[in-house]
Structure formats: structure tokens, C-alpha cells
Structure 1
Amino acid sequence: MDMRLNPIVRFAGSKLLRLGLLLLAVALFTFVLLSLSPIDPIQAYVGADMMLISPEQQELIAQRWGLDQPFLARLWDWLGQLLQGNLGISMVFNQPVIEVLANRFQASLQMLAIAWLISGILGLLLGIASGALEGSWIDRAIRLYAYTLASSPTFWVALLLLIVFSVSLKVTPICCAAPPGVLTEDVTIWQHLHHLLLPALTLSIIGIANITLHTRQKLIEVLHSDYVLFAQAQGERLWGIVRHHGFRNILLPALTLQFASLSELFGGSVLVEQVFAYPGLGEATVQAALRSDVPLLVGIVFFSALFVYIGNTIADLSYPIIDPRIRLGGNLEP
């Protein structure tokens, strides 16, 4: 029993230590970088009304947000609050950063989850079909689709889909997460899904490309291996070979790429939410950047690093389930 628990304890301890160091480094680097930005935080906070307020009012604003303190004093105070679990107050929303993150991520999580599942499933299926039918017209069509979308900017794809489905065909809403003027408690599930569909599909369409191309290449390598050639010589059919020999070999790399794509989805959601005016964490990131909201930006970067790290850890934990020969340390059992 102890022999089984020790690797798990070591693995968990190593992951937690790395996570703590990663979050501290990311948060510290982000805070320092944003604090040294040439953008005047007071002017960014006030906006177009900067000429209408007096120097005394500007000083009061600086005192309110601690901007009148020296850089090292602000850094030391911020580190003390961070160690206590306090990410500060958002200058844009005038709320605790943790509350802003919770509210905005709740809206983004549904879109990210749908996009992540669709891109993973379709990417794997298209990659298998393309690799198994190498050289056919199906393979060429799938590769053309994947290469085209892999090189397409996210905002351009979002604008194109918005013009086609929302403006021209009028089958999807133009913006927002709910019909304008409708209270949150009055929004039906269908209305919510209707507004969520196109942004989620936009993210998934782009995420499919990398998984498709990677799965295709891995399957081709498996199909050209010696043991597959031996199975073919014994009369086993193509799809039987893919199911019995190829699937397990391509599933682990595809799973790794799928969890690694969380960072790309998170970054892509910033542009997609701006195009569709979707009130999620991506839109909050843009507002915080435009108005130099340092506490909120640091909190978003901090949270995104935590989100991606947890996703990669889940991928590591799933490897022994898919292939029992793999241990948590990453080694194969003899």
C-alpha cells in the first residue's frame, strides 16, 4: 500500500510546488511589467473626462487606488495581499477582483467547454479519417480545411461567421449572451444556448485544425510501422488495424495536445468575445488593458495560468487510465 501511495504523494507534491512557483512568478512578472507601463493609470481610469477634473481630484484618485505610493511600496503591499488570497479591487468594475473573475469566468466557461469538446472530438475523428485514407480526396479536403484554418486569424474567422450567420442568414444573434433588455433570471436555456452557439463554434473551428493535423501524422506513422504491416499480411482490415493498433497510440498525443490547447482557447476567447460582444472573461481582459486596471489584469493572468496548469495536470493523471503501462512519473512499466 505504501509503495503505491509514495509515487502519488511525490507526484502531487511536485505538482503543487511547481504550481506555487509558477503562479508567483507569473503574477510578479505581470505586476512589474504593467506597473512600468508608460500608460498613465489615472488618465486611463478617467478617460475622456480627464480635462474636466482638477489636479486635486487626480490626487484623490491616486490615493484611492494607491497610485501615489512608490513602486516598491506598492509591490510589497500587493505581495502581502496576494499571500493572504486577496487580489485587490478592480478599478474598472469597482469590485473585488475575485468576484469579477468568478462572474466573468462563469460566462466564459460554458463557451470554452463547448468549444473544447467539439474541437477535441471532431479533430480526433477528422485526423483518423485523414490518416487512414492517406492520399485520397478525403485526405486532401481535410488537410486543406486544417491548413486554411490553422493560418487564419481568430478575429477574422469570427467576423466572417458573424457576417454570414448573423447578418446575412439571421439564424444567430449578433451579440451578447442574452436578448437585450431581458433580465438574467428571465433568460431561457434555449435563448442562452442560441447566443452561445456561434462564439463556441468559432473557437472550436479553429481548435480543430491542430488536433486534426497532429492526429493524422501520428496515425500515418503507426500505419507504416512493422507490426501493422505484419497485421495487414495476416489479412486484418484497415479499420480493424486503426481500432486495435492505432487508436491507443494516437490517443495519448491527441489528449496532450487537447489539454495544451486550453491556453489557445483562453487567448482566442479574448478576440471572439470582443467580436460577439460576449460578456465573459475575455471582454473583461480588454477593458482592463485599455483602462490600465493592474489588479484585474494581474488576476486574469494569475487565473489563466492556474486554469491551464490544472488542465495539463488532469492530462497527466489520465495517462495511466488510458495506458496502464504508464506510471505517474512518466515511465513505462517493464
Structure 2
Amino acid sequence: MAYKHDYDKILTRLVSILSRLNDGEALSVTELAREFNVSERTIQRDFNERLVSFPIYQEKKKWKMQDGYKIEKSKSLEDEIILDILEKITEGIGGSFSAKAQALLSKIKNVDFNPIYAKLNIEDISEKLAAIQILEQAIKEKREIECIYDNERIKPYKTTLQPLKIANYEGFWYLITKKDDELRKYYLKNISQPILLDKHFEVESEIEELLQNSLSIWFSKNTEPFEVKLYADANATKYFKRRPLPTQTVESLNNDGTMEFRVKITHEMEILPIVKYWIPHLRIIEPQWIQDIIDDDLKEYLSSIVK
């Protein structure tokens, strides 16, 4: 029942936010966090992840609905929003899972038109649904599992795991586990034959916050978080304002459209791919050693082209 209560609270908050945006209100993250008694990071996540399919944007620290857009309220606003979002999420997963979900949703919706489009590019894990059911039970009951894991480098091996979360990063599915008091990540598709064991384990309370603050699957539990300061030119700034990174805090917004901001990470690989993706529009100010890694990689890449 605790899970259902959490989902109900999130749904109530999302529907309230969308309804008010639909009515033309401009909403502040700080004010919403105070109103719903949650953190500002949670509200920012609502806008950047849970409501990302809707035409909303941030202007002068206020979130608004794009001009000329209206959500039809012919039935229940809540029901239509939920079904439209679910439909687009399942389309992104693909495979037989998507087909089954679409068939079920079509019976509920009884309409063909969906005003929402979402390009999620999530890998298909339809063939893993039976295994996922066992993993979900293990996570909820805090029970260990035994399974076969194929790491694609050596032959598959049997292992015992303590499952914490099933997580999706950049479209790929992982099982976050605890093993020998460390966090480990296993590629979900490489897990097979999971068996529930009778042995239970404890889960640290900070795991949820650690996952929410992570930038990628490279996050670490045993490394002290450290700050990275970045500079974004005008081309990149608008995107990092629309969809801030977890733990992102703006240090300066400049008249030329550029921005300096900070994020907290636990591993350099959380930020390196992001900076490389945005070259030449994003660079690291500090710590210098991370920028040096990027510079060395660029030199190696350019030298290979010259050859």
C-alpha cells in the first residue's frame, strides 16, 4: 500500500500542475515545492521528466504552457493525461511488451487520436518480463536472488545478488544491486534464471536519493560527491535551462546568453559523455583534471583522423 500511496501523491501533484498550466497560470518551482511539501528537486523532476511530453517551458523561473495549446477536458483530465502518457511510454519500449500494452490501452481509451508524441528510444525487454516479475518481488520483499549472469567477456556464471532497483539510464535497463556492501550494476538483459532465496537483507535509506541525484549509470555509493563547474555558451544554455541536470545549480546567467553552473557527481564518467556530446558548446571550468581528460581524448581522436 505504501507504493500506491506514493503514486497517488505524484499523480495528484502532476494533474494539479498541468491543470493550472492549462488555465494559463505561471508556476514557480519554489512555490510548488512549498505547496506540496516536497523538495524543489522533486518539482524540477516533475517538469523535466514526468511532464516532458507536454508543451511547457520555463521563463524567468516560471513554468508556463505554450501559447495556443489547450488540453481538452471532455472527460476526465486526469484519466486522459495518464492514458496519453502511458501510451507514448509503451511505444518507446517497443517489442511485444509495447504491442500488448497498446492493445490494452486501446480498449480503455476507445479513441485513436493522441496529441502527445514522445521519442524515448528505450530498449525492448519484452523477453525478460517473467524474470522482471521475480526481480520486482525480490526488491519489494528485500530478498536475495540467485541468477546466471553473462558479462559478454567470459562464460556465464552463477551469482547471488541483493536487488535494490530496476533502473533505466539513456534507454538501457539495469539492475542496481548490493553485493559485499557495495553498489553494483548489472545489465538487465544479461540476467537469466533468477530464483528467489529465503535470505533477507537491509536497504540503506540514502539509496533513493543517490539514484535521483545520479547523472548516469556510472554513479558510485562509496565515493564522496564532488562538484564540477561548467561553462555553457548561448547554444547550450537554453537546453540546460529547459532540462537541468540532477543537482544542477546555476552560478551565473550572463547578458550574452552564456551560463556557468555546477553539478555534483561521484564519478568522472557521469559528466564526461555529456560534455563530449556538447563540444564545442560546453566545457569544464573546474576541476581541471576532468577537462584534461577531454583534451587528451580530443587530441587522440584528431591525431587518428590525420593519420
What TM-score bracket applies, with the shorter chain setting the length?
under 0.3
TM-score by structure 1 length? 0.20
Higher helix share: 1
More strand by percentage:
2
Using the size of structure 2 for normalisation, the TM-score is: 0.22
